[in-house]
Chain A
Amino acid sequence: KNQVEQSPQSLIILEGKNCTLQCNYTVSPFSNLRWYKQDTGRGPVSLTIMTFSENTKSNGRYTATLDADTKQSSLHITASQLSDSASYICVVSAMAGTASKLTFGTGTRLQVML
């Protein structure tokens, strides 16, 4: 069964600090791995998307890593801001016919405080 596990479940940090979120997955056949940011009651917004051949990808203050051998990914947030408070969801894509089938992690709820 395809699964995506994230840790920690929740995290509180002070503004300006860095943090790292973890994602472990067992999804086959692996297509790509995405990190999404979701504000409460809103749709997820893509931060990064990585294929098996990519180890690191950055998007502003967000840097994602992928180890396809150990099936692990991380999302590092640098110099956090209050607006970073949201749920961060790791999503792994498996090919299913002609469409991707996404397996969602349960997310990490990040709260950035003054």
Chain B
Amino acid sequence: DTEVTQTPKHLVMGMTNKKSLKCEQHMGHRAMYWYKQKAKKPPELMFVYSYEKLSINESVPSRFSPECPNSSLLNLHLHALQPEDSALYLCASSQTGQLNTEAFFGQGTRLTVV
């Protein structure tokens, strides 16, 4: 199983809503990532979890709150988002501390904030 599964595939939410994006992998990877990608731009790193601990936070606004409940799951809690937060949110996972580590990406959640 080399899949990273993200749910939902599409999400439309209002600026006062609270929603969560979910990501799951069963490859035994101990590093998981959240990326944000705007149209025709490369993905931008948001957060990195390593061994279920937040190791990198790329100065992301507090309206995005990551959570890693166990080694297979990664959530991104959303609250009071702005229309400019509309984007494709990608989850990825990889082995940690491995020189030849491979990163596998999910298919993304297309988020629209109205």
| B-binding residues in A (CB < 8 A) | 31-32, 34, 36, 41-46, 49, 51, 89, 91, 93, 96-102, 104-107, 109
| A-binding residues in B (CB < 8 A) | 4, 6, 31, 33, 40-43, 45, 48-51, 55-56, 88, 90, 92, 94, 96-97, 99-108, 110
- Majority secondary structure, B binding face: strand
Q: Least Cβ distance of B102 to chain A in Å?
A: 6
A100 touches B103 (CB 8 A): yes
Chain A residues near B88 (CB, 8 Å)? 41
Known A-B contacts A32-B101, A51-B99, A107-B42; the reply to A43 vs B48 at CB < 8 A is no
Chain B residues near A36 (CB, 8 Å)? 105
Q: Least Cβ distance of B50 to chain A in Å?
A: 4
Across the interface, name the chain B residue whose C-beta is closest to A31. B99
Rounded to whole angstroms, the CA-CA distance of A78 and B109 in the bound complex is: 32
Rounded to whole angstroms, the CA-CA distance of A89 and B92 in the bound complex is: 15
A99 touches B105 (CB 8 A): no
A-B contact pairs, 30 of them (CB 8 A): A31-B99, A32-B101, A41-B88, A41-B110, A42-B107, A43-B4, A43-B105, A43-B106, A44-B105, A45-B105, A46-B104, A51-B99, A93-B101, A97-B50, A97-B56, A98-B55, A98-B96, A98-B97, A99-B48, A99-B56, A100-B31, A100-B94, A100-B96, A100-B103, A101-B48, A102-B45, A102-B103, A105-B42, A107-B42, A109-B40
